[in-house]
Amino acid sequence: MDASMMSDRPLVRVEHLRHLYHKGSVSDLLVLDDVNLCLKENEIVALLGRSGSGKSTLLRIISGLLPPSGGNVEIDGKPVSGPASEVAMVFQSFALFPWLSVLENVEIGLEAIGMASDERRARALAAIDLIGLDGFESAYPKELSGGMRQRVGLARALVVHPKVLLMDEPFSALDVLTAETLRTDLLDIWFEGRLPIQSILMVTHNIEEAVLMCDRILVFASNPGHIVAEIKVDLPQPRDRQDPAFRDIVE
């Protein structure tokens, strides 16, 4: 394969994806039907859709947590057949272990990889520092604000250095100002090239958030879930996203 073909190859490819939930005696629920999408390197893409349209189901399938009823998912050219370190997920409800400290919650992201404990510790501390939690390593989730808990969720995902970061409504449990701060901090480190990832797929039902953060927006319709529109967001300069004039347009 030559270099040009390599660069054209999508990082995530979803083809003809279909998913049914079995409902026991009731008829099965078709949640996703013929979902097709590609995610390239260096892209942040939003998946925008109503609650119940199947967005979380789609992310669970891409992350390998849920086997689909039909269709294909490939990450970097390899079929997904279960959870793998190429993909990491950030959850709306943070999903932290309350009995573990910040450092332990982040390190646990590396446990499955079988890394030596010194290296695990160093990687976890670097992720904690990157996401702005320096000094909170020994704190417990209940001692932290919502925004800081989600920073722990992000650090735990980033610590594995996944190729793709999936975020399922990562800011929707936070108040407006906290969400904005976290979004801005995340974009800053993304544009500085300090995030150890190659692309982000983010679920949201907030159009402003999608426009401010993403290069493309995939609009998801329900019953069954499928993509009905794709919007390109053309903001070449990262600073423009924070520009008050631009913010007036979106608000």
Q: Shortest approach of ligand ADP to residue 19 CB, angstroms?
A: 8
Binding of residue 170 to ligand ADP (CB under 6 A) = no
Q: Shortest approach of ligand ADP to residue 89 CB, angstroms?
A: 13
Binding of residue 51 to ligand ADP (CB under 6 A) = yes
Which residues ranging from 56 to 85 are in contact with ligand ADP (CB under 6 A)?
A: 56-57
For tokens 């999936």, what's the residue?
Answer: 166
Among 18, 33, 37, 53, binds ligand ADP (CB under 6 A): 53
The residue among 19 and 149 lying less far from ligand ADP, judged by its C-beta, is 19
Q: Which helix (H) or strand (E) holds 148?
A: helix 146-158
**DSSP structure string for 92-110:** TT----TTS-HHHHHHHHH
The residue among 56 and 63 lying less far from Mg ion, judged by its C-beta, is 56
Q: Are 164 and 201 in contact (CB under 8 A)?
A: yes
Q: Shortest approach of ligand ADP to residue 55 CB, angstroms?
A: 4
CB-CB neighbours of 76 under 10 Å? 15
What's the DSSP call for residue 225? B
Binding of residue 56 to Mg ion (CB under 5 A) = yes
Among 52, 67, 77, 238, binds ligand ADP (CB under 6 A): 52
User: Per the structure block, which two tokens stand in for 57?
Assistant: 């189901």
In the shown chain, the binding pattern of residues 8 to 37 toward ligand ADP, with x for contact by CB under 6 A and - for none, equals -------------x-------x-x------
User: Can you point out the beta strands (E) in 85-188?
Assistant: 87-90, 164-168
Backbone dihedral angles phi then psi of residue 236, each to the nearest 5 degrees = -60, -35
Angle at the Cα of 83 (from 138 to 58), degrees rounded to 5? 105
The footprint of ligand ADP (CB under 6 A) covers 21, 29, 31, 49, 51-57
- Which residues would be at the binding site for Mg ion (CB under 5 A)? 56
